[in-house]
Amino acid sequence: MNKIKVSTKNRILNAAEQLFCELGFDNTSLRNITSEANVNLASVNYHFGSKKQLIQDVLHRYLQVLMPQLEQGIDELIEAGDLSSEKLFNALVDPLMSLEQVRPNGTKIFVQLFARAYYESQGHLRKFITNQYGTSLKRLNKALHLAVPHLSTNEVFWRWHFALGSCVFTMASSKALSEIAAADYHQHMEIEDLIKKVIHYIAAGFSAPQPEKVRLVS
């Protein structure tokens, strides 16, 4: 391992993920990335073929580490039998924190990337994630239903997306929000604390009683 020389490919990946976090995928240009990485513009297409492929490879670095752990953690919870939404959401913390091993600040980077990926509805990304990790996601969905047996299938569907929205929005704007919070309340929030805070919140909402039936049109 040569500590001094980082390969061009990795320099691009590192610069890209940082800029994707800050600006989003569409608003980050290849010129932006290559100048940040101090590499030539053409090298992106040499190493990755296209911007789309670069985006997928950036996410893949994290997903290939996260997903197996996530799946294992969920399986253990399901087998143990005593599933609550608090426990289920808390089971996401350790796998997420393990992404610090992938890159410095890896957890924060990944969650923000995931938020962007979910929000900026890029067809190729959703397709990529579904193809690669669909099985794990189905397992998670099963666990969600087991955690809140008092809720209808439809209600679980919507609450899962409400919860996801809190995470996605918070992480995507966490830089701005943390700065505001730091300025107003003189408090610096680490990513792990923020994750725990949002998980406490979504667990409460997720397991709230089934509401009275609202008008539904078939």
Site for a copy of itself in 147-176 (CB under 8 A): 153-154, 157-159, 161-170, 172-173, 176
Contacts of 146 (CB under 8 A, 6+ apart): 78, 83
Q: CB under 8 Å to 1, separation ≥6 — which residues?
A: none
**104/218 Cα distance (integer angstroms):** 50
Task: Find the radius of gyration of the CA atoms of the chain.
Answer: 19
Residues 8 to 37 in contact with DNA, rule: CB under 7 A: 8-9, 28-32
By CB under 8 A, tell whether 123 contacts a copy of itself. no
Binder of residue 168, out of DNA, a copy of itself, none (CB less than 5 to 8 A by kind): a copy of itself
Residue 160 interface partner, choices DNA, a copy of itself, none, CB cut-off 5-8 Å depending on type: none
Instruction: Tell me if 57 sits within 8 A of 125, measured CB to CB.
Output: no
Structure-block tokens of residue 7: 């390969």
Residue 190 in the binding site for a copy of itself (CB under 8 A): yes
Segment 8 to 47, residues that bind a copy of itself, using CB under 8 A: 24, 26-27
In this structure, which long-range contacts are made by residues 93-96, counting pairs with CB atoms below 8 Å and at least 24 apart in sequence? 93/192, 93/195, 93/196, 93/199, 94/69, 95/66, 95/69, 95/70, 96/66, 96/195
Would you say 12 or 96 has its CB closer to a copy of itself? 96
7 φ, ψ (degrees, to nearest 5): -60, 150
214's contact among a copy of itself, DNA, none, with CB below 5 to 8 A by partner kind, is a copy of itself
Residues near DNA (CB under 7 A) are: 7-9, 28-32, 39-47, 49-52
Binding residues for a copy of itself (CB under 8 A):
24, 26-27, 119-121, 153-154, 157-159, 161-170, 172-173, 176-177, 180-181, 184-190, 193, 196-198, 200-202, 204-205, 208, 211, 214-218
